Structure 1
Amino acid sequence: MKQPPSKEEQGLWEQILDYSNRANPYPLYAQLRSAPVTKLADDSYLVSTYAEILSLLHDPRVSSDPRRNPQALAAAAAAAGAPGAADEASPEEVSEASQSFLLRDPPDHDRLRRLTMRHFGPPNAPRRVTDLEPRMLEIVTELIDDMEGRSRVDLVEDLAYPFPVSVICELLGVPAEDKPRFRVWVDRLLESTDPNLDAETRMQRQREAGQDLNAYMGELVAAHQKDPGGDMLSAMATDDGPEGRMDTEELVSVGLLLLIAGHETTVNLISNGALTLLRHPEMLQRLRAEPDLAIPMVEELLRYEPPVHFVPFRTAIDDIDIAGTTIPKGSAITLALAAGNRDPRHVADPDRFIPDRPNNAHLGFGSGIHICFGAPLARLEAQTALTEFARRLENPRLVEDPPPYRLSPLLRGPKHLEADIDGVLAADHSGAP
């Protein structure tokens, strides 16, 4: 049996993708930044420095539509459950309607995003997120109350995962009893990003999970169309705004985007945040004494330990000259957001965690037209969870450092985060809104 290549034989990108480096890829990112743009073995391009990433996130010559790139097209077809996706996919197999606005270019992207935002934020639904704040606090309180009487907790399973899942389900109108069902499918979809799997296995897992998720969301959309409630999915399904409403296939694709992205990245943000605070107990004490510190602290966490490390499968639709390199038209581009966040040309002392760092223009939510749609919700969830974690758990201590990480190099965070605690303090919400 052929042995895997040694570290010396691996290229830098291969080392970054290697699971053995998942716990601390940042020294490798530092090496990567020595060349802002790197051409990889498959003729795609990797961009790793802050200014260049930011430029490309705003560049109309960079497309997010997978139909413009064979690698991205196959992955999108598999995730959508298209037949034969493990071998070859055609643009026809990834219909425009089956793509969320995350995978579209203007003007279609702009239309779908506007139709979704009408029911999520200003000006039409200005309190959709802020009105959830009391319920968020209630959910976190219940989860931490359940830790009482235990000397060891898993901050992923007991807090970072169930909290944002509960919030997004209530926001969208997903029945609570369905949470275990879609967790299996989402986990399978994310595991398919493991670069150690062969391409056929990755595509097979994506296709299977995509079929199940699409079927489930199709049933959910039909139920909300027939019997709408006060949730966001019902609002989109019965929209009577000036631009009309999404068709059923568009509702399914947008619903899946909101369901998956609406909790998966926040799970990592909260678990990475808890891990960082456990590694910096003086900052944990500060947060306990200064709850308002949570606001800038979450911004620093989005820079220092972001939940999303890479934006893959962008495509150059024209030649792009950047940092002394020409990225040819038709080339695939990957943006290394986490490497850019620690670019010393952007921030001083980039490898230090400074909760009240000034002028923190991070890439944690991306930028440009595809900037994270759910950023206001994720910020509030992380602020709530981490503040209550700091307030209520007595003397939390890491059991294992580094903890085991999830397989995905794109969505990076602990799979489990065990901590020993001396007890759970009573909730005190006297100053809560």
Structure 2
Amino acid sequence: MSGCPARYDGELGYWIVDNPTEAREVLLDPATFRPDNAVLAHTPLSVKALRVLSAVGFALPPTLANNAGESHRPIRAAVARFFSPARVAGVEPLARELTAARVAAATTALAEGEQVDLVQAIAAEPPALVVLDMLGLADVDVPALKAWSLDSLELFWGWPDEDRQLELAHSAAEFYGWLRKRVVQAAEDDLFGVLVRLGLTDEEVCAVAYFLLIAGQETTTQLISTALHRTIGRRPADVVEEVLREASSVPTWRRITSRPAAIGDVELPAGAPVLLGLSGHGGPADLAFGAGIHRCLGAGLARLEARVALECAADLLATVRLVEEPPMIALLSFRAPKRLLVGLQPG
């Protein structure tokens, strides 16, 4: 646990808060530590990238993660109904069915002498299919959603150069264009229909859906990937909670001071960008999902899906070995194995 409540990192450009107690206190004070920078691009976007986004009307007005205003509560309440404890519990059979089928296919491939990427084989698609079911969204190209999600995470939390930014901006624009079409096609009881009936503008509906469809499945895929990595060749208990404490897929999150503020005995000026350590600093597992009015709405779902994945894959994980050191997704606020290539253990 860090002894310094806040320190400035000139390379990152943030005040770093690693102490879990201080990080939680910051999250519980959204009036002082506002979420206005929560979904801004960490690497400023080039003019060319901005033009690509502007051409499709891309906009991220305050809705959920980046909203501390009066509109936050009704939007959050509308979305929270999709993730009630009863709905989360009710989706476990689907999560188990989807995961078990993929584990069976991976087990067969391994038995036939193939190497298998556990991220793509097991962790990638079930969280997307589950959250789409919960949100009432059918006819979604899941591989496209997965690609859009990874590209958007890199665009907003990575360090892409101008050429890469342009590629990522085209992907984000394609995703946003698809969202706009889904608003027009909204059913009464799906995510888009509920938000339209709430009186949100098209831009606000798209902003909610943009990050909800990413966070609702890609961060869970990454949580499962890390849990699978830690379990290869062994059968430890409580891996999900261990990962959340030590190596969450969302290890940091951002805030900005609305006025001069103190973190411990460190004085910050107004407008100071703050990077909070949510995992890996001796804090509780639950801090990985944030705290206060912006706590992750899908916390219970993520825990359930990760637990189901480990239960379904337990026998397979006990018999495989890593073929290579996993390449990593390593962004400002997202970290997980990009690939987990395994083969059967010898003998």
Q: TM-score range by the shorter chain?
A: 0.7 to 0.9
Counterpart residue identity of residue 217, structure 1: L
User: Is it true that 1:258 corresponds to 2:212 in the alignment?
Assistant: yes
Residue number among 90, 98, 105 corresponding to 1:139 in the alignment:
98
In the other structure, the counterpart of 1:100 is: 63
1:147 Cα shift?
Answer: 1.6
* CA RMSD between the two structures: 3.2
Question: Does the aligned pair in 2 maintain the 1:74–1:85 contact within 8 Å?
Answer: no
User: How far apart in 2 are the matches of 1:270 and 1:276?
Assistant: 10
Q: Which runs of 5+ in 2 are unaligned?
A: none
In the other structure, the counterpart of 1:342 is: 281
Higher relative contact order (CA 8 A, sep 6+): 2
TM-score, with length taken from structure 1: 0.69
User: Is it true that 1:412 corresponds to 2:314 in the alignment?
Assistant: no
Q: What are the Cα deviations for residues 50-74 of structure 1, in whole angstroms up to 9, with x where unaligned?
A: 11111111123001123xx9xx756
User: Is it true that 1:115 corresponds to 2:82 in the alignment?
Assistant: no
User: Is it true that 1:164 corresponds to 2:130 in the alignment?
Assistant: no
Question: Does the aligned pair in 1 maintain the 2:232–2:317 contact within 8 Å?
Answer: no
Q: Which runs of 5+ in 1 are unaligned?
A: 1-29, 288-295, 347-359, 424-433
Question: Does the aligned pair in 1 maintain the 2:22–2:264 contact within 8 Å?
Answer: yes
Counterpart residue identity of residue 323, structure 2: V
In the other structure, the counterpart of 1:368 is: 292
1:108 Cα shift?
Answer: 2.0
1:405 Cα shift?
Answer: 0.8
1:302 Cα shift?
Answer: 0.7
SS in 1 for 2:274: strand
User: How far apart in 1 are the matches of 2:61 and 2:172?
Assistant: 11
Counterpart residue identity of residue 39, structure 1: Y
Question: Does the aligned pair in 2 maintain the 1:272–1:307 contact within 8 Å?
Answer: yes
Residue number among 13, 26, 34 corresponding to 1:56 in the alignment:
26
Q: What are the Cα deviations for residues 251-300 of structure 1, in whole angstroms up to 9, with x where unaligned?
A: 22212222110111101110110111126x251xxx5xxxxxxxx54222
In the other structure, the counterpart of 2:191 is: 233
Instruction: Report the CA distance shift for 1:197/1:321 in structure 2 as closer, same or farther (over 3 A).
Output: same
Question: Does the aligned pair in 2 maintain the 1:101–1:254 contact within 8 Å?
Answer: yes
User: How far apart in 2 are the matches of 1:320 and 1:84?
Assistant: 36
1:171 Cα shift?
Answer: 2.3
Instruction: Report the CA distance shift for 1:175/1:366 in structure 2 as closer, same or farther (over 3 A).
Output: same
TM-score, with length taken from structure 2: 0.85
Counterpart residue identity of residue 191, structure 2: L
User: Is it true that 1:323 corresponds to 2:284 in the alignment?
Assistant: no
In the other structure, the counterpart of 2:250 is: 308
Instruction: Report the CA distance shift for 1:361/1:267 in structure 2 as closer, same or farther (over 3 A).
Output: closer
Counterpart residue identity of residue 302, structure 2: A
User: How far apart in 1 are the matches of 2:64 and 2:177?
Assistant: 19
In the other structure, the counterpart of 2:10 is: 41
1:105 Cα shift?
Answer: 0.6
Q: What is the percent sequence identity of the aligned residues?
A: 28
| Equivalent residue pairs, number | 337
User: How far apart in 1 are the matches of 2:314 and 2:191?
Assistant: 34
Instruction: Report the CA distance shift for 1:77/1:250 in structure 2 as closer, same or farther (over 3 A).
Output: farther
SS in 2 for 1:192: helix
User: How far apart in 1 are the matches of 2:175 and 2:44?
Assistant: 13
User: How far apart in 2 are the matches of 1:154 and 1:366?
Assistant: 30
SS in 2 for 1:118: helix
User: How far apart in 1 are the matches of 2:3 and 2:41?
Assistant: 32
User: How far apart in 1 are the matches of 2:345 and 2:58?
Assistant: 53
User: How far apart in 2 are the matches of 1:94 and 1:77?
Assistant: 16
Instruction: Report the CA distance shift for 1:148/1:172 in structure 2 as closer, same or farther (over 3 A).
Output: same
Instruction: Report the CA distance shift for 1:61/1:184 in structure 2 as closer, same or farther (over 3 A).
Output: same
Q: What are the Cα deviations for residues 79-135 of structure 1, in whole angstroms up to 9, with x where unaligned?
A: 9x994599xx9xxx986x7343111113222221112123332xxxx5322221111
